[in-house]
Amino acid sequence: MNNIEKLMRAKIPGSETGIEVKRTVCDICSPTNHCGIDAYVKDGAVIKVEGTKEHPLNRGYLCTKGVASRQYIYREDRIKTPLKRIGEKGEGVFAPISWEDAYAEIAGNLNRIKAENGPDSVAFVSGFTKWYRPILKRFAFAFGSVNYGTESSCCFETTVMAWRCTAGVFSVPDLGNSKVLLGWALSPHYSDHNAAAGIQAFKERGGKVIIIDPRRTPAVEKFANVHLQLKPGTDGALALGMAKLIIDNGWADTEFIEKHTYGYEDYAEYAKKFDLETVSKITGLKADDIVRATELFAVNKPASIHQSASPVGHHINGFQNYRAIIALSGLTGNYDCPGGLMPMPSTYTLQCAGFPTKEKEFACEIHPGSLERRIGYGKFPVWDAYSDEFQMMSLAEQIRSGDPYPVKAVYALGLNARMFPNSRGMFEALKKVFFVDTDLFMTDTAKYADIVLPCCSSFERGEYKVYPGGFSMFTKPVIEPLYESKSDVDILCGLSAHMGIDDDMLRQGYEACVDWIIQDTGLTVDALKKSEFPVMTPSAMPPAIGRAREKGFRTPSGKFEFKSMAIEKMHDSCGIDAIPTYRDPLSGSKKTYGFVLTSGTRLANAVHSRTHDVPWLRSLSPEPMAEMNADDAERLGIGYGDMIEVYNENGSITLQAKPGICIQPGNVHIFHGYRECNVNDLIGEAHTDPYTGFPGYKSIGCDIRKSGGESL
């Protein structure tokens, strides 16, 4: 082997090998975890990836997903050209067409449907991906449709809403100055891996951690001083029980309550119902453990609360449960003070980086008029009040019923029908509309599309990004878009011209749009492009801790609201409660079942549906599995790997059993996103939170039996 061959084999960059190192990001996870990547590029192909050492987020490290980036971007089922359906919907038989023909076909159909049924009969929707959202929303609104909806309908938005109606703004822990962290559903090793190191450092400084989680996780093993392994969806009862203990023991911050809160008397009166015995019964927790955790949290100030992105909200009582948790920060005076919870509005596409952008103004500049025309409007009052998106969980039903008006087309970016409860109903609905789907991969949802458009990955495009701590970045493509793919935004901008949408911004393209959005930050796209790494944004400010106490909260009462004034106004027409009342998460089911089904805990190696077809990642959890408690399994004669059927009034799925100690007896947990075994077939469309429309993914009744055997 000569020297050059050796260098090539070791993938050493330089003029001898022609290998260049170019910087990009991995965008497989949520934007909080879009890690810096050093892409080793040779002859226009990525031949190796490493973490970027200079990136403030990952500092050189990559997780399993980032390490598998090459397999992700070069997946065999990448869509290569625009496609037109020639087979039946769902069959996956398509003919390649040119971009011009695809644009013409889409423009012709959407403009015809608009002329025949009005602009709202076209819904513009997005799955999990966030980066293009301001542009998609502007496109929808400029087209004239109020129907812009995203996966935020089932993700993190319910937390944001709970915060907005309590403190006026989303808030985050000031962990650096806390003594105690109440880790409500805290499991960063799986869902937010870059955050785990910060909590480790907090522990090493002597910080105490309480974890509230129905599951034993690495965070429980490594961080928890106390673990409350409660029954799924009983968080509200626990939080109200903690409130009662705090009040009864004189641990409440009376000064904060008097000066800065609204609705305390009603909240305190309601909490009286949640005595230790009642709470133990509802949550399955030992009374002593509840007292120990409450005292640790309430007497060691300052303390902060981590409320995770979604699991607390994935119940039919999720919004109220979140509010009950958040209320504890006001009750103990741990709000808007160093070491407590601090107000932190989002900067750009749901990220809190600590400076304002004009994302919202950009998306809504051309406004289509009254949002009361939105799909599902009137069903979920808190959603209607706090979001300008339509609640996507109402989409399938309105397509099927045509009530109050027909939805005739769905223009989607990365839509996954299996994300929805009653996914079969969503697939059926997609048969009834003119459906365009843009994706990297030929998914089972894309197979229902009339036109499929190939988009490219983060390695193949430029993108504006923000990171906590005031960082901004504009990435550059490290390779050309593969095959005939284009970036989602280039597709939207191209289509806008063909559709005759009268919007100069969309015509000018992505970089002009971003320049508009970041006009007040002291940066431009050109300036950002000069750096390969995130840079500090001139307009970034440290969090304004203490401002709400001084100047008032951005709520209707100007106070921290134990009782929401906004919801008080809705009470008479909608019957929803202004204080964080609790109801049984299983009360939505028609029948009583032997087990509680909970789903979708994150896997370290997977993100929803998008990674199960990446060979390295799939190899780490190759089979869909139902986790159950070893005692239940033994009692029922179920061994590891046995095929079991999990079923309820909504459907039945068959998968391998995985008995263990992760969850308590009485629960079955199933990971989500698997094409061949979709847990959302067991969740009914009406199993939603009446405040926000969020699906009850994480608590529904079910029974199990050995596959082909008797009911157990």
Which residues fall within 8 angstroms of residue 410, CB to CB, at 6 or more apart? Answer: 122, 123, 125, 395, 399, 430, 433, 434, 435, 436
Distance CA(176)–CA(570), nearest Å, equals 38
- Residue 99 Cβ, how far from ligand MGD at the closest point, in Å? 16
Question: Which is nearer to ligand MGD, 54 or 649 (by Cβ)?
Answer: 649
Question: Which is nearer to ligand MGD, 416 or 521 (by Cβ)?
Answer: 416
**Number of residues in contact with ligand MGD under rule CB under 6 A:** 58
Count how many Cα atoms sit within 13 Å of the Cα of residue 545 in the half-sphere of its side chain: 14
Q: Which residue's Cβ lies closest to Mo ion?
A: 155
29 binds ligand MGD (CB under 6 A): yes
- Residue 395 Cβ, how far from ligand MGD at the closest point, in Å? 13
Hey, how many other C-beta atoms are within 10 angstroms of the C-beta on 366? 18
135 binds Mo ion (CB under 5 A): no
Q: DSSP class of residue 700?
A: E
419 binds Mo ion (CB under 5 A): no
Map residues 669-688 to x or -, x wherever contact with Mo ion holds by CB under 5 A: --------------------
Question: Which is nearer to ligand MGD, 52 or 601 (by Cβ)?
Answer: 601
Task: Identify what 191 binds: ligand MGD, Mo ion, none; CB under 5 to 8 Å per kind.
Answer: ligand MGD
Task: Identify what 679 binds: Mo ion, ligand MGD, none; CB under 5 to 8 Å per kind.
Answer: ligand MGD
- Residue 600 Cβ, how far from Mo ion at the closest point, in Å? 9
Question: Which is nearer to Mo ion, 454 or 673 (by Cβ)?
Answer: 673
DSSP 194-243: HHHHHHHHHHHTT-EEEEE-SB--HHHHHH-SEEE-PPTT-HHHHHHHHH
Q: Which of 663, 593, 654, 600 lies closest to 633, judged by CA?
A: 663
Give Cα 26 to chain centroid, integer Å: 17
Distance CA(432)–CA(698), nearest Å, equals 30
Distance CA(495)–CA(519), nearest Å, equals 26
- Residue 453 Cβ, how far from Mo ion at the closest point, in Å? 24
Distance CA(588)–CA(314), nearest Å, equals 13
312 binds ligand MGD (CB under 6 A): yes
DSSP 285-312: --HHHHHHHHHHHHHSSSEEEEE-SSGG
Among 106, 298, 309, 700, binds ligand MGD (CB under 6 A): 309
Q: What is the largest CA-CA distance in the chain?
A: 82
Q: Which residues pair with 409 in a beta bridge?
A: 122, 434
Question: Which is nearer to ligand MGD, 233 or 343 (by Cβ)?
Answer: 233
Distance CA(372)–CA(374), nearest Å, equals 5
232 binds ligand MGD (CB under 6 A): yes
The stretch among 44-52, 96-104, 396-404, 414-422 that binds ligand MGD (CB under 6 A) is: 414-422
419 binds ligand MGD (CB under 6 A): yes
Map residues 141-160 to x or -, x wherever contact with Mo ion holds by CB under 5 A: --------------x-----
210 binds ligand MGD (CB under 6 A): no
- Residue 648 Cβ, how far from ligand MGD at the closest point, in Å? 13
Scan residues 179-208 and list those touching ligand MGD (CB under 6 A).
184-185, 187, 190-192
Phi, psi of 513, deg, nearest 5: -60, -45
DSSP 427-495: HHHHHTSEEEEEESB--TTGGG-SEEEEB--GGGS-EEEEETTTEEEEE--SSPPSTT-B-HHHHHHHH
* 659 contacts 631 by C-beta, under 8 angstroms: no
The stretch among 37-45, 308-316, 329-337, 380-388 that binds Mo ion (CB under 5 A) is: 308-316
99 binds ligand MGD (CB under 6 A): no
- Structural tokens at position 328: 């504890």
Question: Which is nearer to ligand MGD, 284 or 690 (by Cβ)?
Answer: 284
Phi, psi of 68, deg, nearest 5: -90, 15
The stretch among 108-116, 196-204, 231-239, 631-639 that binds ligand MGD (CB under 6 A) is: 231-239
Please classify residue 372 by burial: count the beta carbons closer than 10 Å to its beta carbon, then call 0-12 exposed, 13-18 middle and 19+ buried: exposed
Question: Which is nearer to ligand MGD, 195 or 545 (by Cβ)?
Answer: 195
Per DSSP (E only), the strands in 4-54 are: 20-25, 36-42, 45-51
Hey, how many other C-beta atoms are within 10 angstroms of the C-beta on 75? 17
157 binds ligand MGD (CB under 6 A): no
Q: Packing angle between helix 264-271 and helix 235-248, nearest 10 degrees?
A: 100
What CA–CA distances, in Å, run from 111 to 101, 125, 325, 405?
A: 15, 17, 47, 17
The stretch among 158-166, 309-317, 372-380, 698-706 that binds Mo ion (CB under 5 A) is: 309-317
645 binds ligand MGD (CB under 6 A): no
- Residue 355 Cβ, how far from Mo ion at the closest point, in Å? 24
Task: Identify what 109 binds: ligand MGD, Mo ion, none; CB under 5 to 8 Å per kind.
Answer: none
**Number of residues in contact with Mo ion under rule CB under 5 A:** 2
* 210 contacts 299 by C-beta, under 8 angstroms: no
Task: Identify what 187 binds: ligand MGD, Mo ion, none; CB under 5 to 8 Å per kind.
Answer: ligand MGD
Map residue 659 onto helix, strand or coil. Answer: strand
The stretch among 122-130, 243-251, 508-516, 685-693 that binds ligand MGD (CB under 6 A) is: 122-130
- Residue 215 Cβ, how far from ligand MGD at the closest point, in Å? 3
- Residue 549 Cβ, how far from ligand MGD at the closest point, in Å? 28
* Positions that interact with Mo ion (CB under 5 A): 155, 310
* Positions that interact with ligand MGD (CB under 6 A): 29-30, 127-129, 151, 154-156, 184-185, 187, 190-192, 212-215, 217, 232-233, 235, 308-312, 314, 413-414, 416, 419, 438-441, 443, 455, 488, 598-604, 606-610, 672-673, 679-680, 697-698
